[in-house]
């Protein structure tokens, strides 16, 4: 039975804790809402980045339509990837089966994140106490707002993810290997493929917006026209990013110009209304 070493499990656990604690700053939100970077870290630690990214790309499909109302998510993609990718690499399972494993793990991860909120309520009381002191201590407030919640998250996530990877992942992988070729694996494959279709459907719904359809057709006809050149998806992605930047920049500049014009017009109207030439227009 293939296993993860203690160091491998610890490194992945520390990464997940850093993401879930928001200890990496503003980019933590993007890392938490997408499994891609966590999958890359798992592949890097386990020495198989290529297969890890193939599996993670499948996981990304089911999380395309997931959004976060009020910071709470029905699934935690980073936690799901941290467990599902190592299990898939150890058991050599296909992408669809990995997706079916990731979904319940991601759901459990959301409960764990809610428990983090519960722990932060106690730290919040410490912040209230620090603020109400006669001599306000900025450093103490900073510790209760930044340092203590981060430490609490690490104490919560590192042990649980470590135990799940070091002892749990090999057991799950061995169990999945024993079920290879059975009806159960077929069911997982079908369910996993269906879950991926949900994410794709959500993406198509977004693409179907009238203001975005032109980009969809542009990408389609460019890919068909230039197919003979053998251009890779990475190259297309780079071109897409550049077009998106140009579009957003132009749209932002147009909005600022329209706002400036409207502001100037309002200023002129106000000046005309406030000007009194001293003559009676009624005679």
Tens-digit pLDDT profile for the chain (283 aa)? 567 889 999 999 999 999 988 777 777 777 888 888 999 999 999 999 999 999 998 888 878 766 665 556 678 889 999 999 999 898 888 887 888 788 888 888 888 888 888 888 888 888 888 888 767 777 888 888 888 888 999 999 999 999 989 988 878 777 777 777 777 767 766 766 666 666 666 666 666 677 777 887 888 888 888 888 888 878 888 888 898 899 888 888 766 666 666 566 555 555 455 545 554 544 4
- What is the pLDDT at residue 157? 93
Predicted local distance difference test score (pLDDT) of residue 9? 92
Residue 266 pLDDT: 56
**Cα–Cα–Cα angle for 254, 260, 264, rounded to 5 degrees:** 145
Q: Whats the size of the chain, residue-wise? A: 283
User: How far is CA 249 from its chain centroid?
Assistant: 24
């Amino acid at each position: 039975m293939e296993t993860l070493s203690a160091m491998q499990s610890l490194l992945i656990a520390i990464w997940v804790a850093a993401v879930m604690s928001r200890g990496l700053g503003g980019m933590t939100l993007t890392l938490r809402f997408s499994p891609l970077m966590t999958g890359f870290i798992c592949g890097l630690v386990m020495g198989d980045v290529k297969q890890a990214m193939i599996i993670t790309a499948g996981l990304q499909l089911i999380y395309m339509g997931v959004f976060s109302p009020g910071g709470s998510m029905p699934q935690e993609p980073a936690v799901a990837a941290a467990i599902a990718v190592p299990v898939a690499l150890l058991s050599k399972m296909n992408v669809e089966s990995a997706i079916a494993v990731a979904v319940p793990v991601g759901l459990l991860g959301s409960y764990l994140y809610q428990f983090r909120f519960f722990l932060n309520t106690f730290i919040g009381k410490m912040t209230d106490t620090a603020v109400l002191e006669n001599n306000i201590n900025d450093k103490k407030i900073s510790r209760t707002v930044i340092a203590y919640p981060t430490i609490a998250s690490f104490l919560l996530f590192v042990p649980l993810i470590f135990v799940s990877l070091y002892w749990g992942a090999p057991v799950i992988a061995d169990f999945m290997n024993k079920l290879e070729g059975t009806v159960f694996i077929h069911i997982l494959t079908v369910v996993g493929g269906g879950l991926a279709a949900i994410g794709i459907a959500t993406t198509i719904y977004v693409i179907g917006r009238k203001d975005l359809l032109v980009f969809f057709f542009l990408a389609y006809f460019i890919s068909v026209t230039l197919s003979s050149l053998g251009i890779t998806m990475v190259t297309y992605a780079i071109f897409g990013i550049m077009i998106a930047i140009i579009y957003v920049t132009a749209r932002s500049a147009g909005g600022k110009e329209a706002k400036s014009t409207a502001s100037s017009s309002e200023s002129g109207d106000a000046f005309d209304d406030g000007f009194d030439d001293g003559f009676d227009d009624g005679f």
